[in-house]
Amino acid sequence: MWKRFSSNIGAMVGVVLLLAVIVIAVIAPMLYPGGPWQMVQRPFLPPFAQDAYPFGTDTLGRNVAAQLAYGAQVSLLVGLVSTLVALLIGVPLGALAGFYGGMVDEGAMRFTEFFQTIPNFALAIVLVAIFQPNLTSIILAIAIVSWPPVARLVRAEVMSVRKREFVDAATLAGLSKPRILVTQVLPNTVSPIIVMASLMVATAILLESSLSFLGLGDPNAMSWGYMIGAARTVIRSAWWLSFFPGVAIIITVLALNLIGEGLNDALNPHLSRKGRA
């Protein structure tokens, strides 16, 4: 599996890019001990003008490079944690619906469909606006709008695995239903969940940046979306204030998508089934 993944050029590019972003996020406090909010130079210093400030300074004279580095922390944190929370909601719900079927399935799926119908970005906006913007509300809002596809995927996977004969064999062995679900069925649904999770982190990062862009970010955390939002009105005079954070988002999201696709090709090889024929 690792062999198939590592021979995928796109996936390896993704891994390298993501590692770079992670390293920058981790060493940001060491690189810029003054933090992202400190005013260090005159405002509107263009990029590449001074070696110390390769990406220039913003409207208040803060170092854009420092802001980008700290922004990576927020993006990765929100992306990861909100995906985990979404998995915690979606996996159990989908698994129960798919495994037990009947009324459980009916109820769980109506609930999921309902959430899927609501325009997810609009719901995220409403949730963050009502519960006041901070990291917790942002993470929860993103998780709440992201879990329905997980539930549907897990349900579909569980339903297909449940029909396989080894599950019947486990039933005949006298194993209890919950045990069959946990030990026999769920382990066989892990691959697609991993793939989906890596793509969800990417989507979550986009969602967080969009919320911050609209002014719904955590006021105490520097984030890429906030940077673009704050620079929106000065785009004519200071293009770099919007440009670089956007590039940072694209790189991170692209890296995660590349990894997700690589995992998908490595974990769910369509070709391997043909080897049998």
Looking at the Cβ atoms of 32 and 244, the one nearer to other proteins is 244
The span from the CA of 190 to the CA of 182, in Å, is: 11
Looking at the Cβ atoms of 89 and 249, the one nearer to other proteins is 249
Residue 209 Cβ, how far from other proteins at the closest point, in Å?
A: 6
In the DSSP assignment, the letter for residue 181 is I
The span from the CA of 128 to the CA of 211, in Å, is: 8
Residue with tokens 């854009």: 64
- Residues in contact with other proteins by CB under 8 A are 113-114, 116-127, 129-132, 164-166, 168-176, 183-184, 187-188, 202, 206, 209-210, 213-216, 225, 228, 232, 235-236, 239, 242-243, 245-246, 249-250, 253-254, 257-258, 261, 270, 274-277
Looking at the Cβ atoms of 52 and 235, the one nearer to other proteins is 235
Residue 33 Cβ, how far from other proteins at the closest point, in Å?
A: 29
Q: Which two tokens stand for residue 105?
A: 């399935």
Residue 95 Cβ, how far from other proteins at the closest point, in Å?
A: 16
Continuous segment of H or E residues that includes residue 251: helix 240-267
Residue 119 Cβ, how far from other proteins at the closest point, in Å?
A: 4
The residues facing 39 across adjacent strands are 62
Residue 179's identity, in one-letter code, is: R
Looking at the Cβ atoms of 36 and 245, the one nearer to other proteins is 245
The span from the CA of 137 to the CA of 157, in Å, is: 31
Residue 34 Cβ, how far from other proteins at the closest point, in Å?
A: 27
Nearest residue to 247 (alpha-carbon basis) of 68, 73, 80: 68
Distance of CA 60 to the CA centre of its chain: 31
Looking at the Cβ atoms of 32 and 207, the one nearer to other proteins is 207
Q: Cβ of 33: how many Cβ atoms within 10 Å?
A: 9
